[in-house]
Structure 1
Amino acid sequence: MGEPGSPLPQRSVAGSRAEAVVMAEQWLARRTELQGKWFDWVAAQLYVMSPPAFAAAVRRELQRLTSG
């Protein structure tokens, strides 16, 4: 653990992207379960997700995975 007051370590870019891919795939797997409520559920999840850059990465991965 770091010194008190020291900044927390940042996620690596590659690690964050890998996490975003996994999360997007998990969310897509819930599409059948949630049916018509899936889109609203995803929007709500992204809205409360932090940091915003990670939420944007998940959104991009969802878009990539669903666009063919």
Structure 2
Amino acid sequence: MDDPVKLRELAAWYRTFAEQSGNPTIWDGRLRTAEDLEAEATEVETRSARARCNRYLSSQTSSMRQPL
């Protein structure tokens, strides 16, 4: 999934249902899943920001190379 908002919503869902679990093993598994989803959301945002930055830098570099 490449939508950080959806990933964070899903992480919140896992946290909510972890709190409702009476079983420590299930609670731990759901919290780990939520943490993994948060990390994935951050990674998606980082990749997106890096791609935007690279496109910007590429456009600036190519415009500098054009003859006047």
> Which interval holds the TM-score relative to the shorter structure?
0.3 to 0.5
Considering Cα pairs closer than 8 Å and 6+ residues apart, tell me whether 1 or 2 has the greater RCO.
1
TM (norm. structure 1) is 0.37
Q: Larger radius of gyration, structure 1 or 2?
A: 2
